[in-house]
Amino acid sequence: MVEKSVFIKDLKEKQKILSPFLVRSKATPLNKKGDPYLNILLADRTGDLEARVWENVQEISEKFESGDIVLVDGIAQNYQGKLQLRVNSISRVDRNDINIEDYLPTSPVPVNRLWDETKQLLNSITDPDLKRLVHRIYDDRKLVEMIKRAPAAKEIHHNFVGGLLYHTLSMMKVANFIASHYQVLNRDLLILGAFLHDIGKTRELSVENFFDYTDEGKLIGHIAIGDRILSELIQGTENFPDQLAFELRHILLSHHGDLSKGSPKLPMTMEALVISFIDDMDARVENWKKIFEREDGKRWTTYQKMYERSLFRSSNREGNGDSPQEESPGFRPFAQMNLIELMNKGDK
């Protein structure tokens, strides 16, 4: 077993390092003189770190690929205000000799706590057919464990163990709040649709392969995979109404909101439309949060190609709190989502 004793968050300038890391990516650009160098993004459960190889570039590059665990010999240096690793040598490490949990970020909230809150919302569904489907999901122990463990994405948002559940619960809470405001919406469909929308990611992404795509994920994609999982769950739920099945599947099939973004259908129900909005919002908020954290508190970020703009850190952002999952004593998160209902009762 190759022990992991040095983690990225603890590195200091001028520190000599001999430690294993996960290779997130590698590239061989040219320097100003036209000579190649190796640009590597290393990672462990505490974060990412850029690394450079300036000598013996070809020889070292041939020793590993993206997705490998490598033993790195180098020194931490300050480059333009950021810590960077200057690499002397790299060698591949056998995956059987490492603890995978050392290299993957995990949910900032314990997964079992996320699952308890998720079940609280699912158990609040009142439609008898949807309740039977929920219990059919509970009975599939393997699926539940995959839901609790899977990431929500490879890189863009919630890319950590438990990320899918974190993202899903966040969406369910927002959906519950919106349903209390727009009472024309079918709350039960909204809650269960939010829970199921990304269920295909349990098989699209592999934790064991460090959040890389599975063959099924690359060839089929999580929307089609998710529709198949949902269809099988519905088939296993006796006398489930066809019309309700169509509407629930439609939420899943249209949740990207646009044909150009991979949805085979555009949202054609209000519930599907709302889920597509919530999904996009939750993913973007998490991604912007990551960008601000990565850029070390700067008021303006560097240009973000994905958004075609630089991003501005609002002066009061820290005061809003970055951990909505945290509770004060005696505070129940699910009750908070019924805020409008509680306010109305107070008026009476």
Measured between alpha carbons, how far is 297 from 165 in angstroms, rounded to an integer? 28
| Same domain for 180 and 54 | no
Measured between alpha carbons, how far is 35 from 28 in angstroms, rounded to an integer? 10
Does a structural domain hold residue 62? yes
| Same domain for 143 and 75 | no
Closest among 74, 49, 76 to 60, alpha carbons compared: 74
Does a structural domain hold residue 31? yes
Amino acid at 68: D
Using the 3D structure, point to which of 66, 82, 101 is the last residue of a domain.
101
**The model scores a pTM over 0.75:** yes
Number of domains in the chain: 2
CATH number, domain of 30, equals 2.40.50.140
| Phi-psi map region of 131: left, alpha, beta (phi>0 left; psi -120 to 50 alpha) | alpha
| Same domain for 124 and 83 | no
pLDDT digits (tens, 9 = 90+) for 153-208: 887 778 888 999 999 999 999 999 999 999 999 999 999 999 999 999 999 998 88
| Same domain for 324 and 175 | yes
Domain range enclosing 301: 105-347
| Same domain for 300 and 195 | yes
Closest among 61, 230, 252, 66 to 134, alpha carbons compared: 230
pLDDT in tens, the chain (348 residues): 788 889 999 999 999 999 999 998 899 998 888 889 999 999 998 888 999 999 999 999 999 998 899 999 999 999 888 899 999 999 999 988 888 889 888 888 999 999 999 999 999 999 999 999 999 999 999 999 999 999 988 877 788 889 999 999 999 999 999 999 999 999 999 999 999 999 999 999 988 877 889 999 999 999 999 999 999 999 999 999 999 999 999 999 999 998 988 899 999 999 999 999 999 999 999 888 888 887 776 789 989 998 899 999 887 655 444 444 444 333 344 434 443 343 343 333
pLDDT digits (tens, 9 = 90+) for 266-303: 999 999 999 999 999 999 998 888 888 877 767 899 89
Using the 3D structure, point to which of 76, 101, 126 is the last residue of a domain.
101
